[in-house]
Structure 1
Amino acid sequence: MITSLHAFGAVAAWAGLFYKWRSLRQNPADPALLALCAVFTLSGLSFFISLPVVWVRVDDLLGVPNIAALLAQSCVMALLVGQQLVLTYWARPPERARVLARLQLCFGVAAIASLATLFWLLTPTAQRPRDFTLYYVHDPYYIAYLSLYVGAYLIGEINVVRVCWGYSAVAGRTWLRRGLRVTAVGAFITLGYGGIRAGNILGIAFGFDLRHLETVAWLCGDLGSAITLVGWTLPGWGPRVAAAGRWVTAYRRHRRLYPLWAALHEAVPTIALAPARSELADRLAVRQVEFRLYRRVIEIRDGQLALRAHADPEAMAEVTRASHEAGLSGDELRARVEALRIASALRARARGRTVADADRARVGAEGPAFTDLAAETAWLVRVAVVFAALPADASEQADGAARAAASGDGRVPEVG
């Protein structure tokens, strides 16, 4: 499992670097962007070197047992500094940011040099690619090494949580706010790794053992880091994903409205601004989908208005009563009644039947009142789905119900 987590983290990090590479080429002098790309690069290297098979190869190549541990953890130390640089350049004026960035870089260099010194004093001889920390945690030099590493790790990630979550509350752009919060959540999860590593150190002094939490430690560290990397890039690709989602929703609604629109357009051709030549052409129309959907909603409404002269209120009253008796209610009831109203009016128009002006007022508005286009579109989609599923004789049954009621028959035929 740990190997899979490391591999996933490496892929996520380098995918983020690939995504940001174009922006870096366009703005090579942007210090925050440079620091962010360094974070992705170093994160990918730390995960990659930590893979057991790579760990062994690196040790063999350099001739030093467990040198991969120092390299991987030095990458982590450097990327922690890189994260602070990103936040510094985002949050402060350039002059002040440069001063603070120099101090952060000096701290990073000093911390990595200290790690290297303690590693050489430790001189680990047994190659331990899977449990390096647990194997050497009893060595005094490694306790100092791990204390420095964990201390810097926790301080860096806590600062990322604090700053990103705080800035998310005042960020003006929606996706920037979401990205900052995702980054903060990821950094918070990584604190589980730092906390367990701190527990490994404290366990030596207080006589407890956290070996059973080793998988949890790596899960928090790797998964939290991957989520953090997603958060750093989310403001860039999030809006595009949202736009793609809106396109898919608009396209599906546009297609679902087609049967209703086609029936109305056949009866009242003048409602269409630019009608599709066929159902296949309509299906293949993938450009300007949101505008096409907007037009389709308007054209359906125009078609409904044109049919009001043919909508029999008696038939609708009987359909409503029959639908109630069938157990329908709420929007389900209203959608069925409206679909049957349209089917009946289309049939009446085809036969040249109209209703008196006084009866037209009794038909009423089609469907509930709406406050926005999205709600009205969703309603018409519901009606269109019911309309497409109506049996061929549904409108005949509605007309028959009206005639039975008018003649005092008292029987209501089954609807649908």
Structure 2
Amino acid sequence: MTVIRPFEVVLLGPLWIATVYSLRRTLTKDPRSALLSGMVTLITLSITVGVPGIRRALETATGAEGVTTLLTHLFSLSAMTCLIAFIRHLTRGTVEGSVSGSRRSTVRTLSLPVVAAALSTAFFLSPRPDAEAHFLTQAPTTPIYAYWSVYLLYLGWGMSVSGRLCYRYRIQAPPGPLRTSLNFLCAATASGFLYVAHRAAFLVTGQRDFWPLSIGGMLATTQTLLALTLLLIVAGIAWPGLVDLGRARRRRRRLRRLRPLWEAIGQAVPEVVLPLPPELSGAPDVLLYRRIIEISDGILVLAPLCDGAVRAEARRRLASAGLTDARLDAAVEAVCLRSALDRKRSCTDVLPERETPLPAGSGSEPDDVGDGEEQGARLELVARSFVNPAVIRVATALQDVPTGTAGANAR
């Protein structure tokens, strides 16, 4: 027998990565995080213990032939209990009442030790397979039938509860990462049912020459269904976190692109930049929200210095350079901001009342702020134009353009 089988090669990498990542969450006070981490760790241990090379080493060290089969199944049943508890925490207050849910939780807590004791008793009363044989293929005896009945009934019950909860809450969940996660978990429970049904069918018919597949075909099918079930479970529990990581990455990228524009406006109009509490400085959503507001407020303050003649000439030159639509609007706004910042640095008087239009979407009125994502995308485009060498050259060339009323007043 090989040291490691193909399906274990597919599973162990993602499972150990998920285990190491989830262990960081056990330090939190959120019970869902602890249950999630416990479930992933137990699943990983159940697969790791079943690897042929590790299994032989453990059985040689302990002197207990076939004991790794029992350990694998105990880890699996414990992981199923964690999955049920996790889904109940996730859907608490939506799917079932808290009183009945707490009673079922007590029964569930008591049932796992009872099932573990029954499984262990049946295992030690059963004939032990040698190191190269699978426990499922042993000659049928009453303890073996009892062992697999206890294991498959508990696993099937757990899949039933998990599938029912996932399906019921999936209907109520809004479109988004949570619904996608529940879709994965629903698919995992369906695959798990096939796994249980396949093993149960072999247990009932395989020893009576009714089973259409060979022993090797049966084991390959079992391993495929198990791998599919576990990968779907990992995908379901990891999906919301992956979506959050992707969103945070996009927020940080936008913050980096906004930084040059934010710093330039903050130096010219420092009153629009407010101190941020240290505990919020690492939250990209909060930081991006503040940057958008501060940049918009700075544009509002600088708007009186954004001369109409400069705007018109900048649009003409940038359009002749091939810019169109949103890129042209962002480049014109960037030129106007550079012009306004230059005049602000050379102006010591109070800023005049606004006599020229504000840049589009600058937030002069509450309704102008619009959707935060749309506003952030527009300002990101302006910020990228702000540091564009072509835009800087146009802004420099327009420093000597005759100004209109606003520019004259500013002087």
TM-score interval (norm. to shorter): 0.5 to 0.7
**Shift in Å at residue 380 of structure 1?**
1.4
Shift of 1:342: 1.9
Instruction: Provide the residue aligned with 1:336 in structure 2.
Output: 331
Residue 305 of structure 1, aligned match among 269, 293, 300: 300
Cα displacement (A) at 1:160: 1.7
Residue 113 of structure 1, CA deviation: 3.9
Residue matched to 1:372:
371
What is the alpha-carbon distance in structure 2 between the residues aligned to residue 366 and residue 34 of structure 1? 48
* Cα distance in 1, alignment partners of residues 354 and 41 from structure 2: 74
The one-letter code sitting in structure 2 at the alignment partner of 1:366 is A
> Relative to structure 2, which stretch is displaced further, 212-221 or 374-383?
212-221
Equivalent pairs counted in the alignment come to 371
Post-superposition offset of 1:381 = 1.9
Shift of the 105–180 alpha-carbon distance from structure 1 to 2, 3 Å rule, reads farther
Q: What CA distance in whole angstroms lies between the structure 2 residues aligned with 1:16 and 1:249?
A: 21
Tell me which moved more, 175-184 or 74-83: 175-184
Residue identity in the other structure for 2:260: P
CA gap of 1:188–1:367, structure 2 versus 1, over 3 A, is: same
5+ residue gaps in structure 2?
1-5, 363-367, 403-411
Q: 2:360 and 2:314 mapped to 1: Cα distance?
A: 15
1:88 and 1:97 in contact (8 A); partners too: no
Match of 1:94 among 102, 118, 123: 102
Displacement of 1:387 in angstroms is 0.8
CA–CA distance in 1 between the matches of 2:235 and 2:384? 38
Aligned counterparts of 1:344 and 1:175: Cα–Cα separation in 2: 44
Over 3 Å counting, the alpha-carbon distance change for 1:178 and 1:105 in structure 2 is farther
Please tell me the residue identity of whatever aligns with 1:128: E
SS in 2 for 1:371: coil
- Which amino acid is 2:375 matched to? E
Distance 1:329 1:205, change over 3 A: farther
2:360 alignment partner, SS class = coil
Aligned equivalent of 1:127, options 120, 126, 131: 131
Q: Counterparts of 1:182-331 in structure 2 under 5 Å? A: 183-191=185-193, 193-194=195-196, 197=199, 204-209=209-214, 211=216, 217-222=222-227, 224-225=229-230, 228=233, 238=241, 242=244, 251-266=252-267, 268-269=268-269, 271-273=271-273, 286=281, 293-331=288-326
CA contact (8 A) 2:266 2:272 kept: yes
Q: 1:159 to 1:253 in 2, by over 3 A?
A: same
Match 2:158 to one of 136, 147, 156: 156
Per-residue deviation at 1:222? 4.2
Greater radius of gyration (CA): 1
Q: Distance in 1 between matches of 2:55 and 2:108?
A: 35
Contact 1:9 1:222 in 2 (8 A): no
Contact 2:78 2:112 in 1 (8 A): no
Using the alignment, how far apart are the partners of 1:275 and 1:99 within structure 2? 52
**Distance of aligned partners of 1:189 and 1:322 in 2 relative to their CA distance in 1, 3 Å threshold:** farther
Among all aligned residue pairs of Structure 1 and Structure 2, give the percentage whose two residues are the same amino acid: 21
Cα distance in 2 for partners of 1:65, 1:4 equals: 24
Paired with 1:59 and 1:161, the residues of 2 have a C-alpha distance of 35
CA distance in 2, matches of 1:289, 1:83: 31
SS in 2 for 1:257: helix
Q: Tell me the SS of whatever aligns to 2:387.
A: helix
Q: Is the 1:13–1:226 contact (alpha carbons within 8 Å) kept by the matching residues of 2?
A: no
Q: Does the 8 Å CA contact 2:39/2:82 hold for their aligned counterparts? A: yes
Determine if contact 1:14/1:41 at 8 Å carries over to the other structure.
yes
1:67–1:287 distance in 2 versus 1, CA, 3 Å: closer
Equivalent residues of 2:302, 2:341 under 8 A apart:
yes
**Given the two structures, how large is their TM-score scaled by the length of structure 1?**
0.65
Which residue of structure 2 lines up, in the alignment, with residue 413 of structure 1?
none
Specify whether residues 20 and 294 from structure 1 end up closer, same or farther in structure 2 by C-alpha distance, changes over 3 A only.
closer
Which 10-residue stretch deviates more, 340-349 or 178-187?
Answer: 178-187
1:165 aligned partner: 167
Give the superposition deviation at 1:188. 3.8
Matched residues in 2 for 1:34 and 1:315: separation? 60
Q: Deviations over 1:275-299 (max 9, x none)?
A: 99xxxxxxxx955766665554444
Distance across 2 between alignment mates of 1:250 and 1:77: 40
Shift of 1:88: 7.5
Residue ranges of structure 1 left out of the alignment (5+ in a row): 277-284, 404-416
